Amino acid sequence: MTDAPHPDPMTWLTQWYARQCDGYWEHSYGVSIDTLDNPGWLIKIDLTDTHLADKAFEEVAFNMDASDGDPSSRWHHCKVGDEQFVAACGVYDLLTVIGIFRAFTDAFPADAVFTPR
């Protein structure tokens, strides 16, 4: 399978995940997308044993001043800690936080040869 030059965010995330799967990584690490009750999304992406594990990420937060519990609220919060990218966001911001993760990975292209710790 060849990666499209500019795939949509979900296709890109699927491709990123597939590139990490080496017969070992996927047994201990991965990507999870869950729902929040406020409402919104929570996405966790393990960076352990990837080329991003030790890379710096500046926390990102955005809140468009909407009332709590309003599904149309636009907000997101992204950070990296304990070798994991974690993002919480509003109902309509899932693709935005995947885009933020994509920008993070684009800032640190994978080396030709990456050897996990």
In this prediction the pTM is 0.85
pLDDT tens track, the chain, 117 positions: 555 567 899 999 999 999 999 999 999 999 999 999 989 999 999 999 999 999 999 999 998 765 566 767 889 999 999 999 999 999 999 999 999 999 999 999 886 444 454
Please give the C-alpha separations between residue 67 and each of 29, 46, 70, 75, 94, in angstroms, as whole numbers: 35, 31, 6, 11, 19
**In the chain, which residue ranges form alpha helices assigned H by DSSP?**
9-20, 25-28, 94-107
